[in-house]
Amino acid sequence: MTSPVSQNAVASAVDGPASGTVADWPLTFERHLFGAVCFDTHGCSVRYDGREHGTTADTPPVSSLPPGRFDALMIARYGDLPNFPGPAQLRWRAKDGAELTAEVDLGEIFGDSLIRHEVPREDIAEGVSMGFTHVLIEVNDRTVNVYTRTLIPTKREQVPGNKHSQFRDDLIKVHSRSY
């Protein structure tokens, strides 16, 4: 299942070279960071761009995080990768012991290169570059979710009185499949 793209991320086509600012409406990305997390699995391997992410086969299962901790954990730490070096290869055992494999084609999921976000165009700061786009895979028991987040500079503080809060970096689910 793929979620619909936010209306804020869809507009007219980009003409000319990208500046990395709101002038490039709709917002797109050409490079990304990658990360993977695994919950309620016995061992979990996520191979992407020739590198292992996740946990080893002997690692005991990690339960899902309590509310509020998940968003903070979903940060990509690997990359400055071109879009997209190939599909992610997943291998894990579900809580019930079933051995599962999957291939997640991020190039297909993000084929339009649109930055998914929830910030209205008129609230995005002019002339300021967007942050790196994070592409994240979560393996949770028998479900694989793909998320994205990009730091979007805003004209106003998102936390009133905090001058360092002039941005949004919402975690957006873009794909989900159960096995």
- pLDDT by residue for the chain (179 residues), tens only, comes to 333 344 344 333 444 567 878 888 999 999 999 999 998 888 899 999 999 986 654 555 556 565 567 788 888 999 999 999 999 999 999 999 999 999 999 999 999 999 999 999 999 999 888 889 999 999 999 999 999 999 999 999 999 999 999 999 999 999 999 99
The DSSP call for residue 160 is T
What is the per-residue pLDDT for 62? 58
Of the candidates 9, 23, 1, the residue with the CA atom closest to the CA atom of residue 144: 1
Pairing relationship of beta strands 143-150 and 172-178 according to DSSP bridges? antiparallel
What is the per-residue pLDDT for 65? 60
User: 146 pairs with which residues across the strands?
Assistant: 137, 175
What is the per-residue pLDDT for 60? 53
CA distance 5 to 75: 21
What is the per-residue pLDDT for 11? 35
pTM as predicted:
0.84
Give the Cβ contact number of residue 96 at 10 Å: 8
What is the per-residue pLDDT for 12? 34
Contact predicate 174/3, CB 8 Å? yes
